Amino acid sequence: MNKNLKPGSQGGFTLIELIVVIVILGILAATALPKFSNLSGDARASSLKAAKGALTSTAAMVHGKYLMDPATNKDDATISIEGATVKFKFGYAAADAGFAEAAGLKDDYYADTTTAGTLKIVPTTLKDTAGAANCYVSYTVPAAAGAAPTFAIDTSKCE
């Protein structure tokens, strides 16, 4: 039946065949590696998008409370949400750490800074702290009564 093999001889791969297989596996690994190497950056970007959603929904909830309750319908009033004290600014949440805490953005995962009415949330897991300039979500209070707050997100350097 198998007339090509002599009795007692062994079959196997030649050295050239093994080298060709190793080269092909190396090429596949070289093309697949860049796809998987930036997963942490993608995770940070997704996390910031979720943080933006949390800030947006919390701002809407605070604004709804401001409109419904006459006791809070003034800019010097405060409310308690999730154990955090949130101040009002033109009917929306003031840009401070209390608002970030009410949105569920704790210091363990995010660093927050407030400058001139803008709350900026940056992931604390960034390797390059200079990348924080391009890996953040920000919330800016309205400039006047009747206006809406603005949200900005930049995930271009979340590596």
pLDDT tens digits, 124-136: 887 666 656 788 9
Smallest CA-to-CA distance from 65 within 83, 56, 78 is with 78
pTM: 0.73
Tell me what pLDDT residue 77 has.
85
pLDDT in tens, 80-125: 888 899 998 888 999 988 999 999 887 777 887 878 889 999 888 8
**Contact (CB, 8 A) for 140 and 58:** no
Q: Provide the pLDDT confidence category of residue 148 given band limits of 50, 70 and 90.
A: very high
57, amino acid identity: S
Smallest CA-to-CA distance from 132 within 111, 146, 116 is with 111
Tell me what pLDDT residue 24 has.
94
Smallest CA-to-CA distance from 63 within 97, 98, 101, 94 is with 94
Predicted confidence (pLDDT) at residue 7 exceeds the cutoff of 80: no
For the chain, give every domain's residue range: 40-154
pLDDT in tens, 24-56: 999 988 888 777 776 788 888 898 999 999 999
